[in-house]
Amino acid sequence: MRKLQEILRLKESGISNRNIASSINISPSTVSLILSRAEAAGLTWPLPENMDETSLKEILYPDEQKPKAKPLPDMKHLHQELKRKNVTLQLLWEEYKAQHPQGYQYSYFCELYYHWRQKLDPPLRLPHKAGEKMFVDFAGQTMSIQDPCTGNIIPVYLFIAVLGASNYTFACGVLSQELSNWIKLHCLALEYFGGVPEIIVPDNLKAGVTKACRYEPDLNPTYQELAEHYGCVIIPARPRHPKDKSKAENAVLFAERQILARLRNRTFFSLKEFNQAVLEELVVLNQRPFQKLDGSRESWYEEMDKPALKPLPLRRYELAQWKKLKVNIDYHIELEKNYYSVPFQLVREQVDVRYTNSTVEIMHKGKRVASHTRHRGKGKPSTNPEHMPAAHRKYLEWSPSRIIKWAQKMGPHTAQMVEELMAKKDHPEQAYRSCLGLLSLGKKYGEGRLEAACQRSIGLSSFSYRSVKNILQNNMDRLEPENQDENPLPDHENIRGAGYYQSKEVSPC
């Protein structure tokens, strides 16, 4: 949804068109075309604050879309089908034409397949430029720590990060592979290396890659935001292609042999103690001389990777999580049992919610439409008056003093009833609905009857809208006051009455 904006951001960061294409999952020629259109339109990063993805697309593509090119056959499908008995290219072409009547003719169909097959899995030794790539992964082997209180065994997962050119390695243990730990470990790795590479190459871990795909993997929005904060690009390895992350595979193997194997007979009682031991072994690993080359991981890092890395930002990335939520009919979204308002025009629309420990930001079509301080606990609303319809804003103009003053015009007992209704609530605003309902009874039954009903309800120590309404409906307000209690109890010290239990607390036995 944000690919156009991401292309402009990455280009401003100095990323090459080919690396941008790999990250965004489009062709380099498309990247060049979009950048040329943006240059012709006078657009540069950062974009104006009020420009969302839809507006940007309208500027870059003002003309109607051209007719689509002929669909290409699925080469991988063809290759797999040809392995089956009696399946020929002629048969596959006929099936292709039945599905795409305007597709390619047989001769060019075969030429496309043969050309694709010649490039299938060519051997290639990937060169690694200084400061270009950081490979990250979790080790397959786990360690454990023992709870000193309960004796329970807790598994520990080892995170590995390695720089491509120097093989300089970072390792750290965590108790889970959840998103918060995944992001924190990236921050620690970048701070350990003292800089930021151009590209981060992860495996298709669910914490980082929402949808693993060979051609178009979808990154977790929080992981993508991490890359934006540090000014780098994330290009996940293709599923079931270990050559794409051979550096990480080798670093994991070295960490398991040179770190975990050396710690196998030790018992750890805290994660801090385990990571301290890992750090000590990590120093030895990075300083160990290469067997067939001059120098070590550390010396190569100092000579090649460290000078080429981009500087770290002034502050560490703050973990932000993302959710897709639907705006309710009361123009609020519900996030972790609390409620946050958006402009009422977005009722029933789907929005993207970004939330950190302190703030909640709500996006619609790539544009921020609301921001709130994040609440703790449950059931707390955060409402911006500007998000309300005019009728709702008028409702908020009511105040306790205004409601009480209105009630006083009807009589002192009505005013006392309103004050009691507000006193029963933690916040007076929570009683507004009951108070306004009570005062509206004066229009239906008359102010005099409402005053008498409130007097009778107060005499019964019943302070509620429903009690007053029942008195009016049953004409009990017209009874004489002396008939309210025809058989009063005698005044005696052994008769406690209801007030005794409201004014005193019973001490425990």
Taking only Cα atoms into account, the Rg of the chain, rounded to an integer number of angstroms, comes to: 35
Exposure pattern of 154-181 as b/e (b: 16+ CB <10 Å)? eebbbbbbbbbbbbbbbbbbbeeeebeb
Q: How far apart are CA 322 and CA 234, in angstroms?
A: 18
Q: Do 165 and 102 contact (CB within 8 A), yes or no?
A: no
CATH for the stretch 133-308: 3.30.420.10
Q: How far apart are CA 330 and CA 481, in angstroms?
A: 45
- The H or E element containing residue 503 is helix 498-503
Q: Do 157 and 177 contact (CB within 8 A), yes or no?
A: yes
- Angle CA 215–218–221, to nearest 5: 155
Q: How far apart are CA 289 and CA 256, in angstroms?
A: 18
Helix (H, G, I), strand (E, B) or coil at 101: coil
pTM of the model: 0.48
Half-sphere exposure in the Cβ direction for 230 (13 Å, CA): 30
Q: How far apart are CA 312 and CA 321, in angstroms?
A: 22
Q: Do 286 and 301 contact (CB within 8 A), yes or no?
A: yes
Per-residue pLDDT of the chain (509 residues; tens, 9 = 90+): 467 777 878 877 778 888 888 887 888 888 888 888 777 777 777 777 777 777 777 777 775 444 556 888 888 778 767 756 577 889 899 999 898 888 889 998 898 888 887 775 444 344 567 788 888 888 888 888 888 888 889 999 999 898 888 889 999 999 988 888 888 999 999 999 999 999 888 876 655 455 444 434 456 788 888 888 899 988 886 655 555 555 557 777 777 888 888 888 888 999 999 999 999 999 998 998 877 667 888 988 898 888 889 999 988 888 877 888 988 877 888 888 888 989 888 888 899 988 887 888 898 988 889 989 888 888 788 888 888 776 555 555 666 788 888 888 889 989 898 888 888 876 666 677 788 888 888 888 888 888 898 988 888 888 888 889 898 888 888 876 554 454 555 555 666 655 555 544 444 44
Q: Do 174 and 239 contact (CB within 8 A), yes or no?
A: no
Which of these, 109, 40, 11, 128, lies nearest to 21 by C-alpha position? 11
Exposure pattern of 200-229 as b/e (b: 16+ CB <10 Å)? bbbbbbebbbbebeeeebebbbbbbbbbeb
Q: Do 133 and 163 contact (CB within 8 A), yes or no?
A: yes
* CA atoms 259, 262, 264, 267: torsion sign: negative
Beta-bridge partners for 391: none
Helix (H, G, I), strand (E, B) or coil at 181: helix
